[in-house]
A and B are shown apart, each in its own frame.
Chain A
Amino acid sequence: MTSRKRTVLVIILFPIFVCLLITVLEPVATKGWLGPVPARNLEDGFDAGALFYTEVNLEELRRPEAANAGHLSRDMR
């Protein structure tokens, strides 16, 4: 297979793979099949992929309403 063909295949198949993954994971989260953590994250729009506490904002973290909302700050990147 030529490099050009492989490039085209990757451009087509990679987005399909990502879409499929999202489609499969969404009910896994919403129906709680893997427990409450992904479900709650999805409900709150929480980014669980943060590598590091960036906004070291303990005051915000310590506010009950912030904690309950699941947000430390904007997106915790």
Chain B
Amino acid sequence: MSWLKEFVTREDWWSVWIGFALLASVFAGMVSYVPGIPQWSSPLSGLPASLILPLVLLMLGAGALTTIAVGTLGDNTGAYIRAFPAVFVLATVSFYIAANEVLAAFGLGYALWALVLGLIISNIIGTPDWLRPGVRTELFIKIGLVLLGAEVIFGRILELGQYGLIVAWGVTPVVLLSMFWLGFRRFGLSPSFAMVIAAATSVCGVSAAIAVAGACRARKEELTLAVGMTLIFTVLMMVGMPFLAQALNLDPIVAGAWIGGTVDSTGAVVAAGQILGDDAMQTAAVVKMIQNILIGIIAFGVALYWVARIEPGSGGRPQLGEIWNRFPKFVLGFIGASFIVSFFLVPLLGGDAVDRAIDVTSDYRSWFFCLAFLSIGLESDFRQLGKQMGSGKPLLLYLAGQTLNVLLTLLVVWIVFSGLIFPRPEF
């Protein structure tokens, strides 16, 4: 019965169980609210006293669930219980900073602040030994990704975006593979680093980067750099792309699709599209959401490619059993959550009920992502980051890939959305 034992002795499976338990608690109606920090302009309004108790309860709940996993995996639960509250408090600080209305307007979100805070602590103060047991990057990322899977709903988006499908799914694989080839074969970057940068640029930024990083077991420093570049360029593109679209005198629908296919984070896509009008914003949002569906498919493909080709083990081409053994199981959790919500819960509960539930699960997901980014920062070393970035090749890869992405997407959206070849879509 060793195969049964695997279900409780591997972190990947624990991330699936915890993710599914949280999803079940929400979809069964047992949890209808997860606390979050409200947007603030004056410092005190960001953390009202009424929020303290819900935050403490969230910390206890998340701490209890992850402690079970940590204990079953054979690690020191006492040390984890002592460290987790401090990690949670730092995550709350990251959310608090990101909730400032000015920083939110520029898209400087919690992922950035969690990374920055973690990096400052680890590299200037030094991550204290007592805090280290609470730094469970892999577990937090994987739980967050299983929860993210529930947000990727197939049916409705596909119904709305047959044209977006051509843009998002046509261009994305071309850019992804071109960047991987360029980064790995030409620039000599490690395959995992090239793949994480490629996924962040071609799919949907940070979410894709962490999913693919988990699938190809990228190093923390590689993920930190890829996410850092993505976050900075997302702000620049959010500000710059509407200018460029206006300068090129693009039709709003063409411009919206262009923005949706190229700007990385979804919030920035909406913000940039909105400036060009309602049609542009809706087109941008639909294209982006269709692109977001690719996360699971690409993570699955990358995981399979990695265990079969990039890290096949010492025995050459691995057998099916070996591939299964080393396959990152959280990817199955991600895809499973997406399928269950898309094909069972939407028909069973209705779209509105599912939307309400996802509103809550997404808050859970944000907390686990925030804990993960903080942990990444707490484990990253500036010297290693400098070494990785030293040649400038990662930045060059990002710029080359993003340029290809922008040009190719413009060509495809013009063909698909301009109305010259296909009938114009109605929004």
Q: Which residues of A contact B39 (CB under 8 A)?
A: 45, 47, 75
Count of A-B residue pairs with CB < 8 Å: 173
Give the complex CA separation of A75 and B101 in angstroms: 11
A30 to chain B, nearest CB (A): 9
What string of 1s and 0s marks CB contacts (under 8 Å) between A23-61 and chain B? 001100100001111111110011111111111111001
Q: Tell me the bound Cα distance from A51 to B100 in angstroms.
A: 16
Is the Cβ of A50 less than 8 Å from the Cβ of B267?
yes
Chain A 53-73 per-residue mask, 1 if CB under 8 angstroms from chain B, else 0: 111111001101001101011
Confirm or deny: B67 has a beta carbon within 8 angstroms of a beta carbon on chain A: no
Structural contact, B101 and A25, CB atoms closer than 8 A: no
Q: Which of B207, B238, B282 contacts A48 (CB 8 A)?
A: B238
Known contacts: A35-B242, A46-B104. The answer to whether A70 contacts B274 by CB under 8 A is yes
Docked pose: A74 CA to B286 CA in angstroms: 19
Instruction: Return chain B residues, CB-CB under 8 Å to A61.
Output: 281-282, 285
Cβ of B120 under 8 Å from chain A:
yes
Q: How many residues of A contact B (CB 8 A)?
A: 46
Interface of chain A residues 1 through 18 with chain B (CB within 8 A):
3, 6-7, 10, 14, 18
Question: Using Cβ atoms and an 8 Å threshold, which residues of chain A touch B101?
Answer: 42, 45
Q: How many residues of B contact A (CB 8 A)?
A: 65
Neighbouring B residues of A18 by C-beta, 8 Å: 97, 100
The smallest beta-carbon distance between B345 and chain A, in angstroms, is 13
**A67 touches which of B126, B206, B281 (Cβ 8 Å):** B281
Among A48, A51, A67, A77, chain B packs the most CB atoms within 10 A around the CB of: A51
Stretch at the interface among B14-22, B153-161, B411-419: B153-161
| Chain A contacts to B: CB under 8 angstroms | 3, 6-7, 10, 14, 18, 21-22, 25-26, 29, 34-42, 45-58, 61-62, 64, 67-68, 70, 72-77
Interface CB pairs A-B, < 8 A, 26: A6-B126, A14-B120, A18-B97, A22-B103, A36-B275, A40-B271, A40-B274, A42-B102, A46-B104, A47-B107, A48-B267, A49-B110, A49-B268, A50-B267, A50-B270, A51-B111, A51-B207, A51-B266, A56-B153, A56-B156, A56-B358, A58-B285, A62-B427, A72-B270, A74-B359, A75-B39
